[in-house]
Homo-oligomer: A and B are copies of this chain.
Amino acid sequence: MLNKVEQKIDEIVTNLHHKEIKELLTKLPKGKRLRAKLILYIAGENEESIKLASIVEMIHAASLLHDDVIDDAMQRRGVDSINAIYGNKNAIMLGDILYSIGFFELVAMGPDIAKSVSNAVVQLSIGELDDVYLSKKFNTDALIYRDMIYKKTASLMEASAYSAATLAGKNPNAYARYGKNLGIAFQMIDDMLDITSDTQTLGKPALHDFVEGKTTLPYIYLYEKLDTSEKQKLASMHCRALDKAEQEWIVSNIKKYDIIEKCYLEAKELVLEALAAIKSEKNQKLDSIAKEMIDRSF
């Protein structure tokens, strides 16, 4: 089913008749295509839904291209990022091209969908900026963190679900709630994996977020549990390279205070909210996506 989305993206880019762009695109890791799956599972497989899924995935790819430049990320899902291979300039330019093609194609989807998705891109752009600015200090506010990951990650999933439901004549707001809650949970879990996974499985170093200044939910909850001197110790490690002892101190305290369990329960609650939003729709595939997200060990 996703094959048709890949074909459509290929077709759209081929129609530019531009060798270099086509070539750059082939180097782009395809990822899980989670947003495309949501769209096709909600709207079924038809010309319009495949087009919408392709547009959203091109926009998502564009955002990742720019994110990787902004975060100096040399890897994306275990393979070298476009900026690592072809430099920042090519990553920025390919991102701009994919964004603009996405927007151009979006107009033909009708104003309701075009507004929803383009608004999500505004949100995700702001979310990326918030992520960078929040990293400059030790953010200890879970609400601010949650708002940022909603914008950065969940907004496009929310808009994808809303738009797919609109296409299919289903209840857009119910599916939007599903997409939003799923998206926030997805990012929370991704942030937890930075602490619980080793580089082999994740393709990036563990505690990488914290070294970069990103105080994701586990660090916020850990901070809350620590006493004053420990709080100072944790804050002093923020946004710098950590030696092995420091890494172990963080990981052992996260274990000691059951921080991952606490975060997991919060993510699970969001997933349950996502499931509840579309309960009456009885969409097994969407239910499975949500359940699989929390059906893993940490």
Which residues of A line the B interface, CB within 8 A? 16, 18, 20-21, 63, 66, 69-70, 88-89, 92-94, 96-97, 99-101, 103-104, 106-108, 111, 114-115, 118-119, 121-122, 124-126, 128-129, 132-133
Contact = CB atoms under 8 A, between A and B. Distances in A.
A20 B121 CA distance: 18
Contacts of A92: 66, 69-70, 92
A93 B70 contact: yes
Contacts of A114: 107, 114
A15 B87 CA distance: 35
A121 B99 CA distance: 9
A217 to B, nearest CB: 22
A129 B96 CA distance: 10
Contacts of A18: 126
Chain B CB within 10 A, most for which of A21, A96, A114, A115: A96
Nearest to A96: B125
A104 B133 contact: no
B129 A104 contact: no
Contact of A99 (B99, B104, B119): B99
Contacts of A89: 69-70, 132
B129 A21 contact: yes
A125 B20 CA distance: 13
Contacts of A70: 89, 92-93
A47 B183 CA distance: 37
Given A89-B132, A132-B89, A133-B20, A107 B96 contact: no
A99 B125 CA distance: 9
Given A16-B126, A89-B132, A107 B111 contact: yes
Contacts of A122: 16, 97, 100-101, 104
A230 to B, nearest CB: 31
A104 B69 CA distance: 24
Nearest to A129: B93
B20 A93 contact: no
